[in-house]
Structure 1
Amino acid sequence: MLKRIVIGVVALAVAAAVAAAGWYYRPWSPFSPASVRALDDPAAYPETFQRMDEILPSSPIAAPAPSPLERAPAPLEIAYEWLGEDKALDAYLEEGRVTGLTVLRDGVVVAQDFRHGAGPDTRFTSWSVAKSVVAVLIARAVELGLIESLDDPAERYAPQFAGTDYGAVSLRHLLMMSAGVDFNEEYSPERPSDVRPLFFNAFILGRDVDAMVGEIRSNRAPGEDNHYVSPNSHVLSAVVRGAWDAPLAQIVERELWAALGMTGAASWLQNRADGRAIPIGYCCLQATSEDYARFGQFLLQDGVWNGEARLPEGFVNQAGVPNAPFQEPGATPYPGRGYGLHFWVPENYDGEFYAAGVFGQYIWIDRRRGVVIAQNAGDPVWDVRYPEAVTVFRAIAEHVAPLDAGGDDGGPGTGEAGDGGDEGEGGLEP
């Protein structure tokens, strides 16, 4: 009798182990919890971040009207001073595990560099650069009258957040990363984090991202400080979906990829591969290096493309500078940088602002020089390397568009996409 019981228990344990292994590895599916956990291997970041939409579910974004940028490539033979010594650009690219780099001057591709098996058609993941894409879609919705005011509460356009602590937060405070919520944006697996469970539970457990974000509580009033947290951007992405009453990938395809003539197909990650999928609105766009740069050029031109103003007048001016004293570099919790409306601002900014994503993703915009730099990377110590990245971007901009040698210091350049207008003092009033 005892022998039969032992055999039964062992059989149940084996069956449970097999079932657990099947659930974890899912050999019948292209997506599995095991593949998600593989994202935690820093040594593989440069390669992994080139195939995120092979590892995780996504929605496709087509490029239905490709319009290649003009090209005038030249070698980037640059040395810059770092820690008291001259350093070559190539050393930075190698040490920072940079996979793709595209440099535009006045809308013309003047330099590109690809490494770690990447190339012009590689779809690099954006990480939090996508937050800035969401912000631009908010501005586009204002321009179209789909959103009445940035001071409207999020729940007006995203009713799934009605009754949550996010529901009454204004779009403006969400854009400013000043929502007053209690959330720990810590990326290291070795320290307590709220953002890691938010990301991994969406894919491993297929949890509803809107519902997870709706559980977050506030611990102070909005508009009091700068506290960068990913759920703010996800709520804004839900506002975008609600304003258009359409899936996020379709909106991106129509309002950005088709309208700006992006040349490469893209994708946006979502939590599931079925009809209940929700896009991960705080990150997770996949696009080519050149198309990231083109997005930056659109902002360099104040949201004007082929002569059409596609964003509210003054939005770029407001998005690319601090909107409150607590957003200034030195006042934020983030050394060497300030914040605007879902864009970062470097220390001693002079017409410069940028979109940024973890592990070394950047779209750097220098409005005085008419320069855009798109960088993708798989750098585990991107945060330590940040001050050097700013130094490198400024050295590249000075190299390709020196102000003392005919560079234009009066505003953004022109290029194939048309005149972006002046850099005036306007602000986004809605």
Structure 2
Amino acid sequence: MQPAKLGGRRSTPFVRSRRRDHRAAATLLVATLACASARPPSATPLAATPADPGPAARDARSLAAAGHAGVICSGVFLQGREPGEVRRDSTYFVVNDGDRDGVDRLEVDRGRREVRVSVRGGPARTARLVEGLGCVTLPEHGDLHLDPARLGAVPVAQATAPWPDDLGPAGWAVPREEQDAVARAIAPWFDDAAALTAAVVVVHRGRIVAERYANGATADTLLDTSAIGKSVLATLAGRLAQEHALALDAPTGLPEWSGDGRRAIRPIDLLQMSSGLACTSPFDDDWEEPKEYTDSQYVYTGGVDAVGYALSRPLAKPPGTEGRYANCGPLALTGLIERITAARGEPLLAYARRSLYAPLGMTRSLTEPDAYGHPLFIGYHFAAARDLARLGVLYARDGVWNGERLLPEGFVKRVSSPAPAWKAPVYGAGFWRFPPGTPLPEDAFSMVGFGGQTVLVVPSLDLVVVRIGHPRGGDAAAPLRKAAYPAIVAAVRASP
């Protein structure tokens, strides 16, 4: 899932090409911020069918239908939204602009908990709600190749956990002046209806300073966080590193890569999206929408084993020499982590709940899988706003939660520092950087997802700002964020 660059703007999304959209957004990121398997995962290698030619050989109408079906299914069955509204406000990140007006069939079967869509007379595609997993897009011909029980799926709690009182200093309460100033700073996100803001939570020194919801969302809503899931994936890699089960700087040891140059790829290369794997993306300079769907979209819409597909990609560049936004690296890391946890007798989803969500009290977090059971942290991650705030607090405090170190020393700094292979110093490893000259503290960084989904982390101020909304509002939300962030920082700095 491509991130909506902070501060990036798009002209009318229904007529502008996706390449121009993403390239302009990438450019404006710097400028704006300067101003403001048929079996469940196991230790056995899981590779896609070598003959899979990828998206170029598939009917683009089918891929567009699958993208619509998956997003609408999640909106209807996870969030309680109306299908027409979800289609209008949220079907952006995996559907090319030219296909968004082409839906000619949209059926919601609430009994079977399925959504079926066709686009421009093409084949219909189906997404189905699976208890404990969320919505899963079915393969073009066939059913799901997964067993929820073996994947460690359990129903998500119905309510977010109460905010812990012991995160803040003993005896300290947020001053009324700070509350009022922060409330004024976040108000434009809600006053501007075009921003489609669903939730904002601001946490300072472990206390909630401000919290607001709109557009049908509540504190318990599973919000679509998009590629913020990459930050969750990075955190799981950090947990395994803390447990000495994953070495970030050693070759992955994946058997699929043992016979060629891919054997040199390290987990940190996968996290930094600088693995060198051949994996097309709408961010590519030579991509135009008439070229149809890219590899980075295909892993959502093809109904394929997404991890296997990523592992099957050849090298296009030597590992660690080029940083570029594409989904295959993080997907390959997902496959590696799946194998590590499976070898220890635990499915990845169960490991995430036990090792990360439970310690932080994240009761409303869910990552939807592909049809073969691989969690798509690359973009199908949902969470309550307070769960995102808890994750932000973990990073604001150098990977320590209530006195317990969950992430290795130096890990937070490393994943939030510019990745060396990226030409622009804007990406770390699952986290985005603010360029020099930004009117924010030098140590500020963000989790970012498509459509304006952001979690600002400022360790020096022990500050976290969560803002999530429906993707169509991302353009309108960008300039509001440009103003809100410095105002929030000023308010907490002035607080006694």
Q: Does 1:99 align with 2:187?
A: no
* Structure 1 residues 180 and 33: alpha-carbon distance in aligned structure 2, compared to 1, 3 A threshold: closer
* Structure 1 residues 43 and 322: alpha-carbon distance in aligned structure 2, compared to 1, 3 A threshold: same
1:354 counterpart SS class: strand
In 1, distance between residues paired with 2:212 and 2:290?
34
Query: Structure 1 unaligned runs (5+)?
Result: 1-23, 25-31, 81-86, 408-430
Q: Which residue of 1 aligns with 2:310?
A: 213
1:120 counterpart SS class: coil
In 2, distance between residues paired with 1:261 and 1:381?
29
Q: Does 1:364 align with 2:456?
A: yes
Instruction: Decide which moves more: 339-348 or 390-399.
Output: 390-399
Corresponding letter in the other structure for 1:242: R
In 2, distance between residues paired with 1:345 and 1:376?
19
Report how far residue 215 of structure 1 moved.
Answer: 2.9
Q: Does 1:36 align with 2:70?
A: yes
Contact 2:416–2:433, Cα closer than 8 Å, also in 1? yes
Q: Deviations over 1:300-356 (max 9, x none)?
A: 1111112111111111111111142x54xxx42xxxx61112210012251101111
Q: Which residue of 2 aligns with 1:126?
A: 225
Q: Does 1:373 align with 2:465?
A: yes
Q: Does 1:342 align with 2:430?
A: yes
Corresponding letter in the other structure for 1:44: D
1:212 counterpart SS class: helix
Report how far residue 386 of structure 1 moved.
Answer: 4.3
* Structure 1 residues 175 and 277: alpha-carbon distance in aligned structure 2, compared to 1, 3 A threshold: closer
Report how far residue 391 of structure 1 moved.
Answer: 3.9
Q: Does 1:250 align with 2:295?
A: no
Report how far residue 124 of structure 1 moved.
Answer: 0.9
In 2, distance between residues paired with 1:196 and 1:238?
18
Contact 1:178–1:222, Cα closer than 8 Å, also in 2? yes
1:217 counterpart SS class: coil
Q: Does 1:197 align with 2:261?
A: no
Aligned length: 348
In 1, distance between residues paired with 2:194 and 2:68?
29
Q: Does 1:311 align with 2:407?
A: yes
Q: Deviations over 1:235-289 (max 9, x none)?
A: 1112221222232211110111111122x333220123xxx42222422222100
In 1, distance between residues paired with 2:260 and 2:191?
48
* Structure 1 residues 354 and 37: alpha-carbon distance in aligned structure 2, compared to 1, 3 A threshold: closer
Contact 1:151–1:171, Cα closer than 8 Å, also in 2? yes
Corresponding letter in the other structure for 2:300: F
Report how far residue 96 of structure 1 moved.
Answer: 2.1
In 2, distance between residues paired with 1:385 and 1:118?
17
1:368 counterpart SS class: helix
1:141 counterpart SS class: helix
In 2, distance between residues paired with 1:189 and 1:117?
35
Identify the match of residue 178 of structure 1 among 274, 298, 323: 274
Contact 1:292–1:363, Cα closer than 8 Å, also in 2? yes
Contact 2:189–2:197, Cα closer than 8 Å, also in 1? no
Q: Does 1:266 align with 2:356?
A: no
In 1, distance between residues paired with 2:221 and 2:128?
11
Instruction: Decide which moves more: 291-300 or 212-221.
Output: 212-221
Corresponding letter in the other structure for 2:90: Y
TM-score (norm 2): 0.62
1:316 counterpart SS class: helix
Q: Does 1:56 align with 2:135?
A: yes
Q: Which residue of 2 aligns with 1:226?
A: 323
In 2, distance between residues paired with 1:65 and 1:381?
25
Q: Deviations over 1:343-395 (max 9, x none)?
A: 10012251101111111211110122221011211123636864653442232
Report how far residue 79 of structure 1 moved.
Answer: 5.4
Corresponding letter in the other structure for 1:151: D
* Structure 1 residues 361 and 164: alpha-carbon distance in aligned structure 2, compared to 1, 3 A threshold: farther
Query: Structure 2 unaligned runs (5+)?
Result: 1-61, 74-83, 95-114, 116-126, 137-147, 166-172
Corresponding letter in the other structure for 2:69: S
Q: How does 1:152-167 map to 2 (within 5 A)?
A: 152-154=250-252, 156=253, 158-159=254-255, 162-163=258-259, 166-167=262-263
Q: Deviations over 1:126-184 (max 9, x none)?
A: 2110111111111111111111x212222x2x545555765531112122221122323
Q: Which residue of 1 aligns with 2:12?
A: none
* Structure 1 residues 270 and 89: alpha-carbon distance in aligned structure 2, compared to 1, 3 A threshold: closer
In 1, distance between residues paired with 2:224 and 2:258?
31
In 1, distance between residues paired with 2:288 and 2:472?
12
In 2, distance between residues paired with 1:260 and 1:384?
32
Identify the match of residue 291 of structure 1 among 349, 372, 387: 387
* Structure 1 residues 90 and 44: alpha-carbon distance in aligned structure 2, compared to 1, 3 A threshold: closer
Q: Deviations over 1:74-117 (max 9, x none)?
A: 4544359xxxxxx944345x332111111101111111111111
Q: Which residue of 1 aligns with 2:184?
A: 78
TM-score (norm 1): 0.71
Identify the match of residue 237 of structure 1 among 316, 334, 339: 334
Q: Which residue of 2 aligns with 1:416?
A: none
Corresponding letter in the other structure for 1:354: S
